[in-house]
Amino acid sequence: MRKDLREIIASLKEKRLIITSHRKPDIDSISSVFVFKELLPKATIALTKEKDESAKKLMDYLGISASDINEVDLSQYDGLIVLDTSSTVLVPAAKAAKVFLLIDHHQPQGRDVKADFEIIDEKAPATSEIIAHLLDKDNALGQISGKAAFALACGIVFDTARFKSARKETFEILAKLMEKARVDYEFIRSYAEPQKKRDEILAILRGFQRVEIFESGNYIIATSSVGSSASEVATILAEVAHVAFVAEWKEQEKETRLSARACNDFPFPLNEIAAAAAEELGGKGGGHKKAAGLSVKNKKPEEVLKACLRAFSNRSSST
């Protein structure tokens, strides 16, 4: 039976918990984690060492202290709270520990995390929005701190790509969060879209230099391979191309990770295309209809990009 968030939190207060999210946590996941740490002060935040570059400024402002999830002794805890993902590929700790609560907004491809309480809203553009609505439903939005409200607002602005995937409820809850946080939109945006550092700018521009252009039917596809900042390159390319696939090789993990982005009127679900390409190569993929990703072990970017093009062609020709 579905319980209110207030009841779930009350049932977890005395447990030894780790609050975690997907690898390379972004602003939406960082914001969600911060709020749950406020709701469950005794819990420990544990994340991967590698953070999304955009999230670092917000982490500093919020004063988040996180352990390395790969170094935590899970046996010393009762279990996990998993936020903003439902795939063990993105949160391997969920394979080794009990999960009490899962909150996510991604599509079902690759979803294999099981929890005592699962709150999944695939129509929500951000996990931060789900959490804000849950708090609002419990009349608890006014009880969180201004910083927590600010964090949720940042998560919403970030994960909607400045409202590209927003819905009516997004603006309604954002207004309440801004009122609670007592901040204006420009201040939120300065943390939800922080100024990029020199190295990141150069990585993005080098990604543009490697762009290849393909046409499939009426659609223009841009592909590239980068050393870092794959999601940022894909997002910008999708402003002009119908679809962008950008691959990034991770030497330490011997793995290619790919970010896929689509323009607003692209009709095919990218999460299904990413999942099909990943399955062909023995990896995992999924995400959202306009923003997806995949990861494949022991396959170089060129091979993964070709698989994405094949998956795109198969999906577009099947309609």
Give CA–CA dist 182/70, Å, rounded: 37
Contact 301, 248 (CB under 8 A): yes
Which residue carries 């995390």 as its tokens? 113
Give CA–CA dist 75/71, Å, rounded: 12
- 108 phi/psi in degrees, rounded to 5: -75, -10
Residue-wise pLDDT tens digits, 266-298: 999 999 999 999 999 999 999 889 999 999 999
pLDDT of res. 182: 98
Give CA–CA dist 69/240, Å, rounded: 38
**Entry pTM:** 0.86
pLDDT of res. 319: 61
Kindly report the three-state secondary structure assignment for every residue of the chain: CCCCHHHHHHHHCCCCEEEEECCCCCHHHHHHHHHHHHHCCCCEEEECCCCCHHHHHHHHHHCCCCEECCCCCHHHCCEEEEECCCCCCCCCHHHHCCEEEEEECCCCCCCCCCCCEEEECCCCCCHHHHHHHHHHHCCCHHHCCHHHHHHHHHHHHHHCCCCCCCCHHHHHHHHHHHHHHCCCHHHHHHHHCCCCCHHHHHHHHHHHHCCEEEEECCEEEEEEEECCCHHHHHHHHCCCCCEEEEEEEECCCCEEEEEEEECCCCCCCHHHHHHHHHHHHCCEEEECCCEEEEEEECCCHHHHHHHHHHHHHHHHHCC
Give CA–CA dist 283/297, Å, rounded: 7
Closest CA to 260 of 281, 279, 285: 285
* Cα distances (angstroms) measured from residue 158 to each of 56, 89, 236: 13, 23, 14
* Residues of the chain predicted below pLDDT 70: 1-2, 319
295: alpha, beta or left, given left = phi > 0 and alpha = psi -120 to 50? beta
Q: Which domains are seen in the chain, by residue range?
A: 5-192 (3.90.1640.10), 199-317 (3.10.310.40)
Closest CA to 287 of 301, 300, 273: 273
pLDDT of res. 34: 99
Q: Which amino acid is at 275?
A: A
Give CA–CA dist 5/259, Å, rounded: 32
Residues 6+ apart with CB under 8 A from 239: 263
